[in-house]
Structure 1
Amino acid sequence: MEIRELTKAEEEIMQVMWNLEKAFVKNVIEKLPEPKPAYNTVSTIIRILEQKGFIDHVAYGKTYEYFPIISRDDYRKFASSKLMSSYFGGSLKQMVSFFVNEEKIDLKEADEIMKLMEQVKDE
């Protein structure tokens, strides 16, 4: 199945779903920061995530318990690949260089990343 990009609101809900592993809408709302969104807003986003293939549900009468069917790691791989190809021409070196220049990572971390990438390439 093809993974699709999430909106900011969808990603916020998915982060909660990944942490909870299974939840009713009210459980998701409890974990969201203040000001809490309306129940209907969260419920609508969850249904969209279900249509996009990110979550599924088990029905208990009219009540639904939702759970992720795409893992956080799978989405992380998708998102980082998209970021690298969209903004860094598919070059890990350019991406690492950007984060070093923005002081998001230091040179030691950058060196460790490059070494890890070389190890993966050699395997």
Structure 2
Amino acid sequence: MKELKELTRAEEQIMQELWDLDKAFVKEIIDRLPDPKPAYNTVSTIVRILETKGFVSHEAFGKSHRYFPLVSKEEYRTFATGKLLHGYFNNSARNMLSFFLEEQKLDLKDADELLQLLEEAKKKGGKP
């Protein structure tokens, strides 16, 4: 996996739309963003920054460009989750899960489902 960089909030918002669309022109991305819509130049600049960071590339159609992701949503999710786990929870999934339980972001049903997933992974030889 290539070296990923953290996205800004605006960059991540644009990537979310590109991941959903698969390929898109700047106008198509803008159409999906919530109101008030950002200026065309703003979104265009962010997309070019994403291209510089290696997250997107483009196909040229005359003077227009259609952009597409080079980094999958799953790749970035793995990166972002690892950064969160390392930076805030001392690389402890237990600490992270405990935090979400304390903050009431997970209920007991969610916790039970996670325990079942852990048990299944353990049976398959994965990390518990």
1:103 aligns with 2:104: yes
Identity of aligned residues (%): 57
Give the RMSD, CA atoms, in angstroms. Answer: 1.2
Q: For residues 87-116 of structure 1, what are the alpha-carbon distances to aligned partners after superposition, in whole Å with 9 as ceiling and x for unaligned?
A: 000000110110010001012312322442
Indicate the residue corresponding to 2:42 in structure 1.
Answer: 41
> Partner amino acid for 2:90?
G
| CA displacement, residues 30-60 of structure 1 (integer Å, 9 cap, x when unaligned) | 0000000000000000000001111000001
Distance 2:119 2:48 in 1: 41
TM-score between the two structures when normalised by the length of structure 2: 0.91
- Alpha-carbon separation, structure 1, partners of 2:92 and 2:114: 13
Provide the C-alpha distance between the structure 2 equivalents of 1:98 and 1:68, rounded to a whole number of angstroms: 32
After TM superposition, list the pairs within 5 Å mapping 1:74-85 onto structure 2. 74-85=75-86
Matches within 5 A, 1:1-123: 1-121=2-122, 122-123=125-126
- Stretch deviating more after TM superposition (102-111 or 18-27): 102-111
